[in-house]
Amino acid sequence: MASLQQRLNDFKQAFESGAPPYNAPHEAIETMHRATAELKATGIEDRALKVGDRAPSFTSFSQDHVQINSTDLLRQGPLVVSFFRGHW
């Protein structure tokens, strides 16, 4: 299977072509590019937690409404934590 980034690139290309099924207007794509560039320019990436920092412990509810604690997860071994903005 193609790499994740390759598939993301393919999707981006299809979306930004303005063709069906997305039919994204050119102005909308420009707006999205502008927002990403502006966000990058704020330096927010450099302020995020980095390699060597201690990860904050966290507790939250899973999709099955089970309370999950990061300390319990780390007791079992290393942890990959992925922040996902949503399905929309």
Query: Does position 61 bind another protein by CB under 8 A?
Result: yes
Query: Does position 26 bind another protein by CB under 8 A?
Result: no
Q: How far is the CB of 17 from another protein (least distance, A)?
A: 14
Q: Would you say 74 and 59 are in contact if contact means Cβ atoms under 8 Å apart?
A: no
Q: Would you say 38 and 47 are in contact if contact means Cβ atoms under 8 Å apart?
A: no
- The span from the CA of 52 to the CA of 70, in Å, is 18
Query: Does position 11 bind another protein by CB under 8 A?
Result: yes
Query: Does position 20 bind another protein by CB under 8 A?
Result: no
Query: Does position 23 bind another protein by CB under 8 A?
Result: no
Q: How far is the CB of 60 from another protein (least distance, A)?
A: 4
If residue 23 lies in a helix (H) or strand (E), which one and from where to where?
none
